[in-house]
Amino acid sequence: MQLPARLQQVRVARTAQKRRLICQAGGKVMLEVSDLQAKVADTDKAILKGVNLTICEGESHAIMGQNGSGKSTLSRVLVGDPQYEVTGGSARFQGQDLFDLEPEERARLGLFLSFQSPIAIPGVSNIDFLRLAYNSRQKALGKPEVEPLQFYGHVMPKLDTLHIDPSWLDRSVNEGFSGGERKRNEVLQLAVLEADLAILDEIDSGLDIDALRDVATAVNGLKRGNTATLMVTHYKRLLNYIHPTHVHVMRAGQIILSGGIEVADVLENEGYEGITNLLKKEPALQTT
């Protein structure tokens, strides 16, 4: 039964209020997603069917879920991918209504998404691309833009951490890069931009063991008390490096279970059937 609109709002506000209490003492809510619904633009295909998620400063969240459960769609809707249309619910980031902002405004506000399949930009060098993005964020923060030489000083230590050869800076963005190199390049972008909330969509896919360790080390090195991470992953191995404070399971466009690393352990040992069995035994654990 459809609830009257007013009642619906109250319910959303109440659940949001309840979740806010989860924040560590003193910690600020960074992202608050309430009953988010979204469909593929210009179609009737609904994908997100009421997602609730609260991320506080200093937290690392992992979202796991079977193929097609809506994890990437959630990431893309948050950054404003025009492929999708928001049909209900809300999302606030750093106190602002996310859906009132253009994608580039969301980025300037400190939201970063590393794509599952990063695209190439022929003709634009990595260093120019990085400096442009960096200066755009500097401007938004009311800080001075940096000159090329000064920017080298900012980017060089990041290359070191990621074990990236400086020659990458002169190459066109991702052109001719292998899948794993593209992922590393994405984390370089993240490191340079120093985003507040990094959404990492399957950052571990296609990485060899050393690259996974480098990427995870770099992500861990970026953590500050007032930043947060949202990782989409299929495997616990990433979580062995980037320790999550929260692990969520997504099914059919909703987050159905939230907990700590033990949720990833159930998945690793028993698969999604283990989650279904757990929720059958303990229905109260189900979040939606």
Ligand X SMILES: Nc1ncnc2c1ncn2[C@@H]1O[C@H](COP(=O)(O)OP(=O)(O)OP(=O)(O)O)[C@@H](O)[C@H]1O
| Residues in contact with ligand X by the rule CB under 6 A | 40, 45, 47, 65, 67-73, 83
Q: How far is the CB of 212 from ligand X (least distance, A)?
A: 18
Q: How far is the CB of 275 from ligand X (least distance, A)?
A: 14
Q: How far is the CB of 117 from ligand X (least distance, A)?
A: 10
Residue 72 or residue 227: which is nearer to ligand X going by CB?
72
Q: How far is the CB of 79 from ligand X (least distance, A)?
A: 13
Residue 73 or residue 114: which is nearer to ligand X going by CB?
73
Residue 137 or residue 182: which is nearer to ligand X going by CB?
182
Q: How far is the CB of 27 from ligand X (least distance, A)?
A: 28
Whole-Å CA distances, 9 to 34, 55, 64, 89: 10, 21, 28, 9
Residue 47 or residue 51: which is nearer to ligand X going by CB?
47
Asked if residue 175 lies in contact with residue 122, where contact means CB atoms within 8 angstroms, the answer is yes
Asked if residue 78 lies in contact with residue 109, where contact means CB atoms within 8 angstroms, the answer is no
Residue 99 or residue 272: which is nearer to ligand X going by CB?
272
Separation of CA 218 from chain center: 16
Round to whole Å and give the CA distance between 173 and 186.
10
Round to whole Å and give the CA distance between 203 and 246.
18
Round to whole Å and give the CA distance between 92 and 117.
26
Separation of CA 241 from chain center: 17
3 state DSSP class of 101: coil
